[in-house]
């Protein structure tokens, strides 16, 4: 049975594009929703026959009423999984709890390092030798949810924010579809400490996480 995926964006949605392009078996992109009517990713989705919807946050008096309207739009698409792909809104605890265990986000750092904004600048200022990106389940505490998968990139001499961000973005486009695939395949679970476990996960010889050939 196919699983319905609802993707939330605020702009271009390049991670949304990567997930759509992955054509994950068993996944159906049920809709793309944006809080901005001018989000470029809406056009990408519409061109591919994916239903789109705008829930403009400016039309609502506060976060609670916006989140309630957003949840109504999501629930109309009967989601199995909600994916935040550059959705630039802080969500209320009630919203996050509503989709507990089926709300994914990608963050441009190796969490728990550098949660929040300006991650690439802060990584450069800290002098770290590696940086990266993390897919995690969303919890009420910002950027602190259970980690599904991470990818690491080197911080090179002469890097500025733009160069480092571009290198990280390549890895975002690689690991976000993988995380969604694992969810669709039913390979993700939580242990007693609320950490994510991936069934049949392998550790490659370089130490990076890779999927097994057969689920």
Which residues of the chain are under the pLDDT cut of 50?
208-215
Q: What pLDDT is recorded for position 200?
A: 81
Q: Is the peptide bond between 186 and the residue preceding it cis, with omega within 30 degrees of 0?
A: no
Report which DSSP code applies to 121: H
Of 57, 107, 131, 136, the catalytic one is: 107
Give the C-alpha separation, 207 to 194, whole Å: 23
pLDDT of residue 22: 98
How many CB atoms are located within 10 Å of the residue 165 CB?
17
131 is an active site residue = no
* Exposed/middle/buried for residue 20 (C-beta within 10 Å: 0-12, 13-18, 19+): buried
Fold of 3-116+132-152+172-187: Rossmann fold (3.40.50)
Choose among 25, 31, 113, 41: nearest CA to 78: 31
What pLDDT is recorded for position 206? 53
Which residues are paired to 189 by β-bridges?
197
Give per-residue pLDDT as tens, 122-165: 999 999 999 999 999 999 999 999 999 999 999 999 999 999 99
Q: How many CB atoms lie within 10 A of CB 145?
A: 23
């Amino acid at each position: 049975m196919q699983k319905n995926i609802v993707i939330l964006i605020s702009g271009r949605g390049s991670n949304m594009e990567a997930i759509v392009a992955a054509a994950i078996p068993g996944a159906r992109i049920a809709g793309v929703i944006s809080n901005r009517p001018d989000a470029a990713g809406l056009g990408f989705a519409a061109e591919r026959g994916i239903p789109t919807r705008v829930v403009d946050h400016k039309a609502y008096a506060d976060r609670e009423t916006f989140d309630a309207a957003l949840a109504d739009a999501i629930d109309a698409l009967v989601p199995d999984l909600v994916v935040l792909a550059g959705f630039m809104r802080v969500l209320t605890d009630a919203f996050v709890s509503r989709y507990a265990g089926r709300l994914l986000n990608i963050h441009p750092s190796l969490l728990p390092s550098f949660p929040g904004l300006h991650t690439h600048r802060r990584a450069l200022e800290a002098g770290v030798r590696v940086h990266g990106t993390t897919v995690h389940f969303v919890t009420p505490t910002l950027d602190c949810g259970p980690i599904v998968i991470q990818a690491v990139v080197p911080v090179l001499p002469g890097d500025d924010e733009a160069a480092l961000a571009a290198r990280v973005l390549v890895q975002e486009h690689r690991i976000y579809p993988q995380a969604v695939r694992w969810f669709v395949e039913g390979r993700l679970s939580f242990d007693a400490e609320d950490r994510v476990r991936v069934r049949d996960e392998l550790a490659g010889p370089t130490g990076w996480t890779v999927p097994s050939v057969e689920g």
